[in-house]
Structure 1
Amino acid sequence: MKQLLDFIPLVIFFILFKVYDIYIGVTGLMIASTVALIITWIIYKKIEKVALFAYLMIIIFGALTLYFRNPDFIKWKVTIIYFIFAIILLASQLIFKKPLLQKLLGKELNLPTQIWNKLNFSWVIFFIVCALANLYITYSMSQEFWVTFKTFILPGITLVFTILSGIYIYKQIDKNSSQA
């Protein structure tokens, strides 16, 4: 249900962009994201930090896009979010010596530190590649393609990478339980 609530604002953005323009799309994204956040709060009585951060980025970069009438602001939001995620994951591993993914999932999954490090680092690389892909598409492709990329391709790629991470974890759990 949460994933659907996160995806609906993107679809609204896409539809309004297609019917009107980027500015109406961004306005719709901001409104729909606010409604989705409120519904999430009503249903679950809490809002995850990542969801709140993403929402604030939508509002800030959406407002900049509308105020300056420059779509580059909303396009940069994706890149900035992905770079921040990559930095946080990398810092958790290099500075704090405990991968953030282990902290988030370690209660449910018992895996060796080296597996958590590999998984965490693979997400760092994933976020950097997505951020760079967004930059490339922002400046070398049409705005129409960027909207499609942001609305459908990036979430699709993220879903595939999440599934691959799950398969990797499952295989590691299987190996660890057979070694125990």
Structure 2
Amino acid sequence: MKLLLDFLPVIIFFAVYKATDDIIIATAVLIPATLLQMLYTWIRTHTIEKMQLVTLVLVVILGGATVLLQDKTFIQWKPTVVNWLFGLAFLGSQFIGSKPIVQRIMESNLELPTFAWRNLNYAWVVFFIAMGILNLIVAYNFSEETWVNFKLFGMLGLTLIFILAQGLYLSRHIQNTDNQD
């Protein structure tokens, strides 16, 4: 349910774009949809995750610039900026604090060796950087419609594939941890 809620503004953006063939209108709808998503999340849980907050701020700023300046470039850069900020945060967490972000997020459910947490965190850094680059490649080398399709289906699909690969990596280390006990 949470995954659907997180992707709901993107799905709405996609649906409006397909209905109107106008990225400015789709972006104008994306902004309040994202605000409503955050409001709903706040009412349900009384918390907003930092990643959600970063996304909201960038949707409002870059989406607002897209609508005000009638220039799709700003909204097309949003996924890149979001991914690169997350990549930077994951990379920085290797050097700030006692644990990388991925360990802080997942350690209550998993017990892994320190090197596995570090490698997993670096994998997320590479993934976020690659997704940002790939977004720009699609935005600047393909049609607007292809970019919109990629934003929903391509990025979601690649994220799911990465998570599955991450699961395979984790399973090797979880088995090793279980065998040591």
TM bucket normalised to smaller: over 0.9
**1:47 partnered with 2:48:** yes
CA–CA separation in structure 1 for the residues paired with 2:101 and 2:19: 41
2: CA distance, partners of 1:94 / 1:42: 35
- Other-structure match for 2:64: 63
Give the corresponding residue for 1:6: 6
Contact 1:99 1:120 in 2 (8 A): yes
Structure 1: gaps spanning 5 or more residues: none
Letter in 2 for 1:8: L
Q: Could you tell which deviates more after superposition, 116-125 or 3-12? A: 3-12
Stretch moving more, 136-145 or 168-177 = 168-177
Query: Take 1:156 and 1:167, find their aligned partners in 2: how far apart are those partners?
Result: 17
Q: TM-score by structure 2 length?
A: 0.93
Cα deviations by residue, 1:81-135 (Å, 9 ceiling, x for unpaired):
1111111111111454632111222233221110011101111111111111011
Match of 1:99 in 2: 100
For 1:73, the aligned partner's letter is: F
Whole-angstrom distance in 1 between the partners of 2:79 and 2:159: 13
Give the structure 2 partner of residue 88 of structure 1.
89
Q: Which moved more, 1:31-40 or 1:66-75?
A: 31-40
TM-score (norm 1): 0.94
C-alpha separation between the residues in 1 aligned to 2:13 and 2:28? 8
Q: Distance in 1 between matches of 2:59 and 2:157?
A: 20
Q: Residue deviations 1:50-94, cap 9 Å, x none?
A: 111111111111001011110000011111111111111111114
Query: How many residues are paired up?
Result: 180
Structure 2 gap ranges (5+): none
Where 1:47 maps in the other structure, the secondary structure is: coil
Q: Which amino acid aligns with 2:4?
A: L
The list of structure 1 runs, each at least 4 consecutive aligned residues, that deviate by more than 6 angstroms after superposition, is none
Report if aligned partners of 1:6, 1:33 keep a CA contact under 8 Å in 2. Answer: no
- Pairing 1:5-24 to 2, within 5 Å after superposition: 5-20=5-20, 21-24=22-25
1:146 aligns with 2:121: no
- Provide the aligned C-alpha RMSD in A: 1.4
The structural deviation recorded for 1:28 is: 1.2
Offset of residue 159 of structure 1: 1.6
Identity %: 38
3-state DSSP of counterpart to 2:132: helix
